[in-house]
Structure 1
């Protein structure tokens, strides 16, 4: 374990928690622990992690934290941590801790995937790149587990239109059973403590174990909410934060989030349709104004009649066709395969759309799944305000369809409530209250064509944190450390020199 200071006294001083919530004697043993770094082979949980974790220079460890911070002497959780040490030890500043979003995303895999692009940069020279799997996720234990791979495959095959009272009752029974299985297979103690507030406290223990007096953090998407939570709880422990693809401050309401995402995905669909119309061949036709109609013509026949694929008898359901489209909206690099996939689907082959849906669900080619979506569901259900009765659900679905016409299945709007309505544990999420007066300058990056977190969210978060907004005029979800030099230079200068970009700075695609 390395530290900002060479003296043991300074190391211990850095490890002592100053936040009132973490100052009890019972937590000292967590803050004063050392990480035992080792080969990452035993930390792999998916074929993707097996591929990534063997890269040169990576090492892994497990961080011990209380399963319930109100019972620090009780059960513990082990948090999987991965790092690639700074290449220039003399210039090293500290650790750059990364969270990729989700919730449910693996920070270990995300950090490992970024090493090749970062190691030769100034950030790679001056920071240890650190990713962690939040409690319940990936290599961390205990893990959130809800369905077996076979059960997940079966659930994705359902394309029933839920309009009759009988269908609503049946779907709600399935959703209730899903919630029960999560509790049975994960344990209620984990599900009760898997929320963002607990993860933020884990992150402060990690900061101390890494030997950093203050946290330098990079969060994408949901990771911006986690960063906001940390900054609200531990403002005096923040060195620098880059928050890319913002969840609006105080917004952890399922209705508002879903409607904002619906509008964002429709905007991305419209951009895709305009791009597609300029191609030599476009599956949605040459008129972007008719793209939604053409999409309906291609996908609605899947309702009750899934399409064949080349994947061992698997078929493409209507639900997976929608999911495949959504996956492709996150980044323009998927637009070409989406166009080709829609053309193939129009001819009866759903293979490409199914593969895109697999990416969204975390399904590998061998049929195994990451637990990303199970953890996502668990965090959402304890953090966010839940939908109440069926009438509220029907009204949400109506507004969602209105905001995103491509999702219209052509049938009456359903009132079947989702899984969180039947979650066996209460909501536990505390809404973070930013304290900008105690924070150093933070940088929020917001993309004008972001399908998942609308641009205005970034403006609101930057204002709430008293930070700087960096605008990226382009498409996609999460841009820092990608291909845009303007964004990368501004973000790097801030993280290294603590020089935030000027107010109102904009970067073009």
Structure 2
């Protein structure tokens, strides 16, 4: 039986703690939480102290350091020849060694999500051993259910918003993410070509993007000099960035346009950790089986067939290519979730998320008997900050432990 009932109050009589992770992996929570405070309604802020923890290796938590010049040396993640593949592997090995030398074995060998979940448990105990309330967005949803696997009796409420499925095979993960990105792109292209609110109304937007990407791969587009990004951007980088832009667009956030091709900055240790630690977590979490050129060519054929416009330019493909040659022990195969708790766990997923496939959410929910999946019939990555019916349902769960009826679908 759970130590904590769903309607438990803080033993001290003060506000309960709500731990938040914004995903990435690599987002600096201590910097992001203040920027999103306006998105938390009064019923949340009056009930909870919002706890921002930078996971190990990120932001203020001993940020991982690597060779900045090596990171900023562009390398194609889409090799076509044996020499291309060899250059990619040698680059990965050199960059991984630089992280090991600058950050140490403790960092590089222990960045996996289970260790992160244990860190949250340590902080929960240190803050008074109150029951865990956790809001995990995107990759944060993986922290949430892996925490629940380790500490099933310490939970009051636990919520994942935008679900990452760590039990998928490498190929299945790539295929499902490539398809959900293509779906979002196609929906955007239809809107942009038909809506009077769009600057591209009347045009074949998908074909336009195809032409821009092709041209930029031959002649990178100048974007101006400045810290944190390259002076120009290639077609591949446009497609990788476009996924992030679509992820943010539904929430009215346009900051993805400014990211361009992210470069590391010599004197920005915390900022660089967003790039370096995100890769370190992915390499520690996911088996990377591509050991020869033909492996990557098969994946390219798969994604170009199923996603002809976006062509597999997704985060899972980045991990499956940049992690080849990464130092440290090989990650274990992705096991099924074994979680036994009577505490209701809530997962939330939009149908048209450009980053997290609805397939992932259904698969994770099916493995956890006490979980409920709340569906938002809409676009965009994660749902909490959309400020509609879905946000209200999430707040009701966090504050009162109220779970939606199974198979509930909300419009906003």
What TM-score, normalized to structure 1? 0.70
Aligned counterpart in structure 2 of residue 147 of structure 1, from 43, 46, 67: 67
Do the aligned residues in 2 keep the contact of 1:387 with 1:393 (CA within 8 Å)?
Answer: no
CA distance in 2, matches of 1:103, 1:140: 14
Cα 1:184–1:193, aligned 2, differ >3 Å: closer, same or farther? Answer: same
Q: Which residue of 1 aligns with 2:172?
A: 256
> Equivalent residue of 1:388, what SS?
coil
> Equivalent residue of 1:371, what SS?
helix
- For the pair shown, the structure with the greater C-alpha radius of gyration is 1
Aligned counterpart in structure 2 of residue 273 of structure 1, from 164, 168, 189: 189
Cα 1:435–1:102, aligned 2, differ >3 Å: closer, same or farther? Answer: same
- Deviation of residue 282 (structure 1)? 5.8
Aligned counterpart in structure 2 of residue 163 of structure 1, from 53, 65, 80: 80
- Are 1:302 and 2:216 matched, yes or no? yes
Q: Which residue of 1 aligns with 2:11?
A: 5
> Equivalent residue of 1:425, what SS?
coil
Cα 1:496–1:182, aligned 2, differ >3 Å: closer, same or farther? Answer: same
Cα 1:331–1:116, aligned 2, differ >3 Å: closer, same or farther? Answer: closer
CA distance in 1, matches of 2:149, 2:253: 41
Do the aligned residues in 1 keep the contact of 2:176 with 2:359 (CA within 8 Å)?
Answer: no
Q: Which residue of 2 aligns with 1:479?
A: 383
Q: Which residue of 1 aligns with 2:123?
A: 206
- Deviation of residue 494 (structure 1)? 1.1
- Deviation of residue 234 (structure 1)? 0.7
Q: Which residue of 1 aligns with 2:3?
A: none
CA distance in 2, matches of 1:326, 1:294: 16
Do the aligned residues in 2 keep the contact of 1:159 with 1:302 (CA within 8 Å)?
Answer: no
> Equivalent residue of 2:134, what SS?
strand
Do the aligned residues in 2 keep the contact of 1:323 with 1:357 (CA within 8 Å)?
Answer: no
- Deviation of residue 265 (structure 1)? 0.8
Q: Which residue of 2 aligns with 1:383?
A: 285
Do the aligned residues in 1 keep the contact of 2:89 with 2:324 (CA within 8 Å)?
Answer: no
Cα 1:168–1:388, aligned 2, differ >3 Å: closer, same or farther? Answer: closer
Cα 1:453–1:228, aligned 2, differ >3 Å: closer, same or farther? Answer: same
Cα 1:393–1:167, aligned 2, differ >3 Å: closer, same or farther? Answer: closer
Do the aligned residues in 2 keep the contact of 1:442 with 1:462 (CA within 8 Å)?
Answer: no
- Deviation of residue 181 (structure 1)? 1.6
CA distance in 2, matches of 1:436, 1:209: 24
Cα 1:259–1:463, aligned 2, differ >3 Å: closer, same or farther? Answer: same
> Equivalent residue of 2:18, what SS?
strand
CA distance in 1, matches of 2:253, 2:162: 23
Q: 1:101-500 counterparts in 2 under 5 A?
A: 101-118=23-40, 121-141=42-62, 143-148=63-68, 150-155=69-74, 162-248=79-165, 250-251=167-168, 253-280=169-196, 286=202, 290-311=204-225, 314-333=231-250, 355-358=258-261, 361=262, 369-390=271-292, 391-408=294-311, 418-429=321-332, 431=334, 434-466=337-369, 467-480=371-384, 482-500=385-403
- Deviation of residue 238 (structure 1)? 1.0
Cα 1:301–1:160, aligned 2, differ >3 Å: closer, same or farther? Answer: farther
Do the aligned residues in 2 keep the contact of 1:449 with 1:473 (CA within 8 Å)?
Answer: yes
Q: 1:44-123 counterparts in 2 under 5 A?
A: 92-118=14-40, 121-123=42-44
> Equivalent residue of 1:320, what SS?
helix
- Report how many residues are paired: 391
CA distance in 1, matches of 2:34, 2:254: 25
- Deviation of residue 408 (structure 1)? 4.8
CA distance in 2, matches of 1:160, 1:462: 33
Cα 1:93–1:405, aligned 2, differ >3 Å: closer, same or farther? Answer: same
> Equivalent residue of 2:324, what SS?
helix
Do the aligned residues in 2 keep the contact of 1:272 with 1:335 (CA within 8 Å)?
Answer: no
Identify unmatched segments of 5+ residues in structure 2: 1-8
- Deviation of residue 230 (structure 1)? 0.7
Q: Which string of whole-angstrom CA distances, capped at 9 and with x for unpartnered residues, describes residues 21-49 of structure 1?
A: xxxxxxxxxxxxxxxxxxxxxxxxxxxxx
Cα 1:254–1:373, aligned 2, differ >3 Å: closer, same or farther? Answer: farther
Q: CA RMSD in A?
A: 3.0
Cα 1:422–1:160, aligned 2, differ >3 Å: closer, same or farther? Answer: closer
Cα 1:167–1:117, aligned 2, differ >3 Å: closer, same or farther? Answer: closer
- Deviation of residue 174 (structure 1)? 1.5
Do the aligned residues in 2 keep the contact of 1:100 with 1:223 (CA within 8 Å)?
Answer: yes
Larger RCO, structures 1/2 (Cα 8 Å, 6+ apart): 2
CA distance in 2, matches of 1:444, 1:419: 30
- Deviation of residue 99 (structure 1)? 0.9
* Structure 1 range deviating more: 373-382 or 308-317: 308-317
